[in-house]
């Protein structure tokens, strides 16, 4: 199949960018979107042009590196990561727009590559549990109720790709932060930091310049891992609970 691509090209965070039009030909419908970009880049390199910079790593949908907005949708028309998106979802002769994630907290580094350090800051603020070092603990030493395990697994699926922020008209990171908070807060291993985790991670999220949530639901629609919108309510519940606890603690 032959496609017209309009791709955001930007030399660096300081320079202005613009959409540039390219043609690619003889694309196999079995290629992934990234493989299609590889084909384009090979041609660009042969022609002596600068290849399009994009992030990628695992190419199997688990690392979350390959974020880009395709035809206005984070990771394109299918609910999956860009590396797992196949060209069969496009038609011969289509024009495809490819842009980087857009959010104040995710500045463009080059072309389609954005800096997602802001997510790391949120994780650093509370996305951990405290365990004694030494030999690995016995796996069944701590019993986890089935419901809690399921809930934790559902949220542990978040790969931190940033599609939620990219899709949100407010550039909000509530879905990401809620996935991380819920994952650990529901587990027995996460209890010692249960209150500080949600308070600190939300504070870090606000610090990084993410927008506020207006419940548009765009994030959950875009999430390749299917983190549902009520997860944000679950985090709000944790947050309100932590505030109450803090208050009663400070009262002594």
Partner 1 sequence: MAGTGVIMLLFLVAHMLGNLKIFFGAEEFNGYAAWLRTIGEPALHNSWYLYIQRTGLVVAVVLHGVAAYQLSKRDIRARPAKYEHKRQRASYATRTMRWGGVILGLYIVWHILDLTTLTVNPLGKEHHPYENIVADFRIWWVNVVYIVAMLALGLHIRHGFWSAAQTLGAVNKRRDRALKITANVLAASLTAGFLVVPVAVMTGLVD
Q: Do residues 81 and 55 touch, judged by C-beta distance below 8 A? A: no
Q: Considering CB under 6 A, how many residues would be counted as binding ligand FES? A: 13
Applying CB under 8 A, the residues found at the interface with partner 1 are 6, 8, 19, 69, 71-73, 97, 99, 102-105, 168-172, 209-218, 228-230, 232-234, 236-240
Q: Return the SS3 of 233.
A: helix
- Angle among Cα 201, 113, 10 to the nearest 5 degrees reads 130
* 222 near ligand FES, rule: CB under 6 A: no
Q: Least CB distance from residue 210 to partner 1, whole Å?
A: 6
Q: How far is the CB of 231 from partner 1 (least distance, A)?
A: 9
Closest contact distance (angstroms) between CB of 123 and ligand FES is: 17
| Kind and range of the H or E run holding 6 | strand 3-9
Say if CB 162 and CB 68 are below 8 A apart.
no
Considering only residues 45 to 64 of the shown chain, the ones binding ligand FES according to CB under 6 A are: 56-59, 61-64
Q: Does 171 bind ligand FES (CB under 6 A)?
A: no
Q: Which CB atom, from 126 or from 162, has the smaller least distance to ligand FES?
A: 162
Question: Which listed option, ligand FES, partner 1, none, makes contact with residue 61 (CB within 5 to 8 Å by class)?
Answer: ligand FES
Cβ–Cβ < 8 Å for 6, 24: no
Query: What's the min distance (Å) between Cβ of 191 and partner 1?
Result: 19
The two tokens of residue 102 are 């857009």
126 touching ligand FES, by CB under 6 A = no
Interaction partner, residue 218 (ligand FES, partner 1, none; CB < 5-8 Å by kind): partner 1
Minimum separation from the CB atom of position 134 to partner 1 (A): 38
Phi, psi (degrees; rounded to nearest 5) at 12: -155, 175
| DSSP calls for 121-160 | HHHHTT-------SSPPPTTSS---HHHHHHHHHHHT---
- Residue 68 interacting with ligand FES (CB under 6 A): no
Question: Of these partners, partner 1, ligand FES, none, which one is at the site of residue 216 (CB under 5 to 8 Å by kind)?
Answer: partner 1
d(CA 26, CA 2) in angstroms, rounded, equals 6
166: nearest Cα among 79, 99, 235, 231: 99
Beta bridge partners of 110: 113
Nearest to ligand FES of 85, 242 (CB atom): 85
The yes or no reply on residue 65 touching ligand FES (CB under 6 A) is: yes
Q: Would you say 57 or 92 has its CB closer to ligand FES?
A: 57
66 in contact with ligand FES (CB under 6 A): yes
Name the residues that contact ligand FES, by CB under 6 A.
56-59, 61-66, 81-83
């Amino acid at each position: 199949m032959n496609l017209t691509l309009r791709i955001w090209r930007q030399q660096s965070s300081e320079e202005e960018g613009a959409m540039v039009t390219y043609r690619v030909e003889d694309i196999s419908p079995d290629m992934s979107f990234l493989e299609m970009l590889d084909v384009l880049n090979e041609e660009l390199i042969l022609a002596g042009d600068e290849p399009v910079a994009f992030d990628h790593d695992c190419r199997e949908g688990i690392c979350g590196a390959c974020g880009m907005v395709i035809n206005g949708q984070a990771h394109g028309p299918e609910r999956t990561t860009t590396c797992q998106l196949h060209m069969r979802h496009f038609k011969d002769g289509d024009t495809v727009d490819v842009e980087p994630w857009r959010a104040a907290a995710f500045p463009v580094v080059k072309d389609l590559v954005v800096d997602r350090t802001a997510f790391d800051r949120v994780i650093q603020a509370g996305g951990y549990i405290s365990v004694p070092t030494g030999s690995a603990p016995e796996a069944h030493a701590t019993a986890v109720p089935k419901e809690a395990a399921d809930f934790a697994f559902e949220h542990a699926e978040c790969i931190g790709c940033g599609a939620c922020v990219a899709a949100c008209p407010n550039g909000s990171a509530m879905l990401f932060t809620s996935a991380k908070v819920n994952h650990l807060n529901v587990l027995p291993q996460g209890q010692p930091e249960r209150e500080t985790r949600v308070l600190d991670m939300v504070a870090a999220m606000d610090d990084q310049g993410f927008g506020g949530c207006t419940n548009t639901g765009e994030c959950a629609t875009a999430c390749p891992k299917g983190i549902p919108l009520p997860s944000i309510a679950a985090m709000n519940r944790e947050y309100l609970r932590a505030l109450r606890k803090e208050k009663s603690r400070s009262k002594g």
